[in-house]
Chain A
Amino acid sequence: MTEQTAIAIQGLYKSYGRVQALRGVDLEIRRGEIFGFLGPNGAGKTTTIRCLLDLIRPNDGSIRVLGINPQGDPVAVRKRTGYLPGELNMEDNLKVEGQLRYYIHLRGNQVDWGFVRQLAQRLDLDLTMPIRNLSKGNKQKVGVVQALMHRPELLLLDEPTAGLDPLMQHEVYRLLTEAQGDGATVFFSSHIISEVEALAERVAIIRSGVIVEEAEPSQLVTMAMRRVWVRFKKPVDPTPLSTVEGITLLPQSNGIRVHLQVGGDMDGLIKALAAFPVSDFEIERPSLEEVFLAYYEAGDGKEND
């Protein structure tokens, strides 16, 4: 853990009765980066985030948030953090303004109300509406505003754009990018791959309470299986290609056009193709979604809550 580390998690374990939600999560998030936490429902994303705020207590492992142990001094962590829960619930009998003012009171009135109005305006949020009359999307906007209103150093966002329309999703992306520009670190969970791909500088994939991969989105894509189409000048027997390590011949192949799956780097394939009369060569770049699915298909398919 260095000065440049916003979040450091080591060997984090958490169980709910017999259900093991986290099984040794290790994660390090640098200050000032936007970090995406990817995983399906029940993989352990929310549990990890809630441990960071001392809302739940881990069974084992260590956590440092902005250099502070949240179990030792949760208030200090929360003071410098903005949080948006995945399941957002608020007092139904309050109006939006009343709800936000309550949160501001909890923050010791250290919030610029002008900035709150500005955020509400950008998200097209009516401050006079009763919470009970708000749609899921509008409630989410209240959640985004309360997370950003005190200009926190660290944003912990659990599925920040859930329920928002595409226009508002992009406004939230802009707000997060601006917060990052002001020096904030953004740690957000999502199961929307396009969101993570568009926003995150680094990504961790969690499966059944274990981080299975951590890299930049582009690196993840590179590390994944790629599919290659090779067109030959004349019909060939492609069988020798399948003997190269990491290469699988796919069923759509014929003598002229061969479809291959390549794992790892392309060096072996290119060297093997030197012996063939190649006319064209095309690599299909997998989307992050395909990478993500590949990680899950590799597992047993059973996830815990």
Chain B
Amino acid sequence: MFAEFVHSLSCKRGQILGWGIGLVLYGLMMVSLFDSMTAIVGIQDMLASYPKEMMAFFGDVMEFTTPKGYLSIYYFSYMTVIVGVFTASLGAGLLVSDEEKGILDLVLAHPVSRTALFWGRVLALIVATLVILLLGWLSWVIPAGSTGMNLTWIEFLRPFAPLFAELMLFGTLALLLSLLLPSARVAGMLSGGLLVANWLLMGLSNLNKGLKAIVEFTPLYYYQGGDAVDGLNWGWLAGLLGVTLVFTLLAWWRFQRRDIRVGGEGGWNLPSLARRSRRSAAASPEA
């Protein structure tokens, strides 16, 4: 498992570095702008004048001048979607991307069990996400001392916990879907799409109270975002991690039982689509 973990993490170093640098630059920019942004006279009035449909996605904008509000609005309100793209694509390709390339066939011909391979790679996904979030956290906590963001390192750290849980939930959902659907790309798109849809639904539920009953059944409802600066909702956090664990166990169960596919064996198309394409090929005059 350790060999697979190290190898998997090493293969992802480019992605980790790219996303990590992006988050660091964004964090540094936002910290450095805190003092000047909050000092703008009348900015709260200006924000209040924005269409409420637009502001519904960013939480309570009137708290924007406080460090907690600033963090919520400019970072944690949409970081789930942004970094979620990374974890969803990573999760979807964790095993199936190598399978589609035909690499997994030879890897599993060596004395490594499917369980060891699976958990080695899941551990790599967890560590990759943690490293990116760690870089994101450092980009806030290190320069914050020289600005008016008077939060302690632990206050900066707390909101990263629900963010991590949310990212892992969608990452492992993508992993599970990749083992059920015909390709990693479809799984990545579907889980990324669900994440974005959930985010939009959360924003819309701030406008339409009728949607509240629906969003209660979605993961982002239990995402604290910047509110976690004041303290973690352990029940929500445990719930998100619990669902993540369920997705991971289901994916592991599925990976144990399925064939390792290679090109040419069939099974890459959805059965109905395959039948349709065969029918249309048979009907075409060239066929």
What residues of chain A have their CB less than 8 Å away from a CB belonging to chain B? Answer: 16-17, 19, 21, 42, 46-47, 50, 53, 55-57, 74-76, 78-79, 81, 83, 85, 87-91, 93, 102-103, 105-108, 143, 146, 305
Contacts of B3 in A (CB 8 A): 102, 105-106
Given A56-B259, A81-B109, is A17 in contact with B266 using a C-beta cutoff of 8 Å?
yes
B105/A79 in contact, CB under 8 A = no
Contacts of B262 in A (CB 8 A): 46, 50, 85, 87
Distance from A59 Cβ to chain B, minimum over Cβ atoms (Å): 11
Given A57-B259, A106-B107, A305-B265, 18 other A-B residues pairs in contact with their CB atoms under 8 A: A16-B265, A17-B266, A46-B262, A46-B265, A47-B265, A50-B105, A53-B109, A55-B105, A81-B109, A83-B106, A83-B109, A85-B105, A85-B106, A87-B262, A90-B103, A105-B6, A106-B112, A107-B111
Contacts of A83 in B (CB 8 A): 106, 109
Q: List 9 A-B contacts (CB under 8 A).
A: A16-B267, A55-B108, A55-B260, A56-B259, A57-B259, A88-B102, A108-B111, A305-B264, A305-B266
A56/B111 in contact, CB under 8 A = no
C-alpha spacing A81/B112, complex, angstroms: 12
Interface residues on B, range: 20 to 34
What residues of chain B have their CB less than 8 Å away from a CB belonging to chain A? Answer: 3-4, 6-7, 11, 101-103, 105-114, 257, 259-260, 262-267, 271
Chain A, interface SS category = mixed
Contacts of B101 in A (CB 8 A): 89
Q: Which residue of A lies closest to B100 (CB)?
A: A89
Distance from B51 Cβ to chain A, minimum over Cβ atoms (Å): 47
Q: Which of A75, A76, A108 has the most CB of B within 10 A?
A: A75
C-alpha spacing A146/B106, complex, angstroms: 10
Q: Which residue of A lies closest to B117 (CB)?
A: A106
Contacts of A47 in B (CB 8 A): 265
Given A17-B266, A90-B103, is A75 in contact with B7 using a C-beta cutoff of 8 Å?
no
With beta carbons under 8 angstroms apart, the residue of B102, B109, B257 that contacts A89 is B102
